[in-house]
Structure 1
Amino acid sequence: MTVSRLRDIPGIGVDKMGDAADSSKNRNVLRLENLDTDLRPPAEAIRRTHEAVDDDDANSYLPFTGQVALREAVIARMKQSTGISYDANSECIISAGGLAGILNVLLSILEPGDEVVLTDPTYAGLINRVSLAGGVPKFARLIPGADGWRLDLDSLAAAIGPRTRALLVMSPSMPSGFVATETEWAAIAAHCRQSNAWLVYDAAMERILFDGRQVIHPAALPDMRQRTITVGSVSKEFRMIGWRVGWIVGPEVIMTDVRLTSLTNVVCQVGIGMPGATAALTCSDDGVAQAVAEWQTRRDFLLGELHDLPVIRPDGGWSMLIDTEQLELSSPDASRMLLAKGEVAATPMVGWGPVASRYIRFVFANEPVSRLADIRNRVRAAWGI
């Protein structure tokens, strides 16, 4: 019998699609189902990680909040994004990946039944972690249009209630590529202030912005430093998925509890991963600008090739959504047909929000344009359109 905390957690779907693509053993399959990338991490991060394998200091539980050099590098990164100073000892904790950090934060701020507002669509793993921590997910709708995705401010206001404890926002958001504007961030911040709610900001893709967009960090908004908990990682921007190194930065008043949760949950981070993460954050060339340029090229190629389909433009991130209901296909059926007839692995967005189930996701971070060249023919073979 499933325990109650798992009853409303359906999974994320990506694992099943990945298994299906792997089991086919067909190297011609386009791997658009999972947030991997073929772009290399910073060379200095790889070199320092190799050295850490033989470094006894990296083979340790201590310090429990993460290596000092890494915490200092994270704080310096936060200063660049926000203009705000944080204390590396009391306001920063290293986590075993960004999502472990998200869960530890939610476990630290939620009482059972507290509500957390997320966008719809959003990553199923965020929704699931709210439920796992005893919270109740509420949703503010993202509206697709010619201008990409926009946050429905009326829907946001309607999602706020007397039990709202936090707003959990990712920008750029996964899976849509939604990037919050100044106006949207101002509305989010206003609700946090009026409701005395936390803003949990998932900054995993913060700098993966297209078309010249600039980072807007919500902690820099008026009266938001004391209300914002930022969770980041080296997985996406720095292409270091397997290192499992993330961080949590926030005001000392809550970080004391987050530290206790972190100690009780994962205890410590990946020791040999932290020196490489520090190198990524401090090296002279982290490769982020070059990587973003390549991902934008792939996005633009797909938008061009699929222009006659209901694809919504992402303004950042690693993926885009196609509205299969407009094609009179359910997203699970569309996904099965793509793999069987088009040799394309793509994940249906079931469980990624109430409206999200009408979409299928194409990840463009892991396949070069040369491999994507026949994508429209593959889709036509699968869906007959």
Structure 2
Amino acid sequence: MAYQVAERVVQLRPSPTLAVSDRVRTLREQGLDVIDLGGGDPDFPTPEHICRAAAEAMLRGETHYVASAGIPALRRAIARKLREDNAIEVDPAEIIVTPGGKAALFVSILALVGPGDDILMFDPGWVSYEPMVTIAGARCLHVPLDPAENYRISREAIESRLTPATRLMIVNSPNNPTGRVLSEAELAAIAEVAQERDLLVISDEIYEKIVYDGHRHHSLAALPGMAERTLTVNGFSKAYAMTGWRLGYVAGPAPLIKQIMKVHSHSATCATSFAQWGAVAALEGPQDFIGQMVSAWDRRRRLITERLNQIPGFRCPLPEGAFYAFPDVSGTGLSGQEVAARLIDEAHVGVTPGDAFGEVSAGCVRLSFAESDDKIEAALDRIARIFGG
């Protein structure tokens, strides 16, 4: 039988980060000791008070459908968080709770753009932005950022890629994979172009709590003139070590949220009911454990950066945020793909090749330091054995 599949799906690449994890699992099933630095899953457990809140919700019968946009208590808590942490004023009715931050991005893109539309994104950028745009039938415009300038975003770089069909920009800070935290000047440049060209913006702020060395996260929607054109996407996976809970949200202007809600309600129906009560506890409970996790990641980023820079052919800047190191490995004479292949095959260390995040970073690899100190040390020892240092 000849199976027919939609061409827009045939052309998609499977998620490169998940492909690394799948390869790691396959090798482990063969009995090999493989260290996975390819993903982005915090090695810390979800705090007990969050787990307890979800368990108690299940026990009292919160195991059925809830409002598609999310339970009122959680939307109120998110609105309060956005006001206090991000200086963003939204009504709880302008928030949709989704099964993960990825779902929030996906339903937003599907609702906002379609065939004939151009969407601008910055390279290097997260692996799933372009596939989402492709599934929506739109086209991605890539803005290549120069590593020699620390991947700085400028007005000139944005304007050089715009077309009359450009409708939307996707912005991510702190950035996956580079770890860059956008400065106020960079955000101002994005805001100026968005307002002058009447563009919508999706601001992916999933790593907002994970910043170092005095860097501060600033939300685009808080800038003058940006609230009416910005969708803020966030979630609970990274800051609260809740990756498996699959909880995210999108907040923005009511006319946009109304349309996004149609896509969400026809796809996910609602995010998991009892998990949402855990998220309420996450936002309303103690926050000190976030600082404890960030302190551990701070220590690990310094370790991994120092060790990688001792390896011939590796050049690794110190990340400003998130929990990824993104070394340029072109000095080895190999591409990022070739280095990643050698590391998984010979060192049994899983990393993500840089071209997964854009052509500009084909000479890089991404390593997650959201792993234990012992595993990071062991992985670095293995990498050094293969490449020296």
Q: TM-score range by the shorter chain?
A: over 0.9
Of structures 1 and 2, the one with the larger relative CO (CA 8 A, separation 6+) is: 1
Q: What displacement does 1:132 show?
A: 1.1
* 1:84 maps to 2:88: yes
Distance in 1 separating the partners of 2:32 and 2:56: 34
Q: What displacement does 1:107 show?
A: 1.1
Aligned to 1:218: 220
Q: What displacement does 1:202 show?
A: 0.7
> What amino acid maps onto 1:343 in structure 2?
H
Which aligned pairs between 1:1-385 and structure 2 lie closer than 5 A?
Answer: 1-25=4-28, 28-56=33-61, 58-89=62-93, 91-145=94-148, 148-285=150-287, 287-308=289-310, 309-366=314-371, 368-384=372-388
Whether the 8 Å contact between 1:349 and 1:358 is mirrored in structure 2 is: yes
> What amino acid maps onto 2:324 in structure 1?
S
Q: What displacement does 1:375 show?
A: 4.2
Tell which deviates more after alignment, 297-306 or 78-87: 78-87
SS at match of 1:350: helix
Q: Percent identity?
A: 27
SS at match of 2:241: coil
Residues 116, 216 of structure 1: alpha-carbon distance in 2 compared, 3 angstrom cutoff = same
Distance in 1 separating the partners of 2:162 and 2:318: 28
> What amino acid maps onto 1:113 in structure 2?
G
Tell which deviates more after alignment, 302-311 or 195-204: 302-311
Q: What displacement does 1:290 show?
A: 1.2
Distance in 1 separating the partners of 2:110 and 2:347: 42
Distance in 2 separating the partners of 1:314 and 1:148: 10
Tell which deviates more after alignment, 24-33 or 294-303: 24-33
> What amino acid maps onto 2:184 in structure 1?
E
Q: What displacement does 1:328 show?
A: 1.1
Distance in 1 separating the partners of 2:254 and 2:285: 28
> What amino acid maps onto 1:140 in structure 2?
V
Whether the 8 Å contact between 1:141 and 1:156 is mirrored in structure 2 is: no
Whether the 8 Å contact between 2:181 and 2:217 is mirrored in structure 1 is: no
> What amino acid maps onto 1:101 in structure 2?
A
Whether the 8 Å contact between 2:178 and 2:325 is mirrored in structure 1 is: yes
SS at match of 1:39: coil
Tell me, which stretches of 5 or more residues in structure 1 are unaligned? none
SS at match of 2:365: strand
Q: What displacement does 1:15 show?
A: 2.2
TM-score normalised per structure 2: 0.93
Whether the 8 Å contact between 1:185 and 1:218 is mirrored in structure 2 is: yes
Q: What displacement does 1:376 show?
A: 4.1
> What amino acid maps onto 2:189 in structure 1?
A
> What amino acid maps onto 1:339 in structure 2?
I
Whether the 8 Å contact between 2:53 and 2:277 is mirrored in structure 1 is: yes
Let me know the Cα RMSD of the aligned residues: 1.8
How many equivalent residue pairs? 381
Distance in 1 separating the partners of 2:218 and 2:7: 38
TM-score normalised per structure 1: 0.94
SS at match of 2:130: helix
Q: What displacement does 1:52 show?
A: 2.3
Q: What displacement does 1:343 show?
A: 2.3
Q: What displacement does 1:81 show?
A: 2.8
Distance in 2 separating the partners of 1:272 and 1:374: 38
Moved over 3 A (4+): 374-377
Q: What displacement does 1:363 show?
A: 0.4
Q: What displacement does 1:10 show?
A: 1.0
Residues 161, 2 of structure 1: alpha-carbon distance in 2 compared, 3 angstrom cutoff = same
Kindly provide the CA deviation profile for residues 34-76 of structure 1, in whole angstroms up to 9, marking residues without a partner as x.
11121122221111122222232x2222211100110011101
Q: What displacement does 1:133 show?
A: 1.2
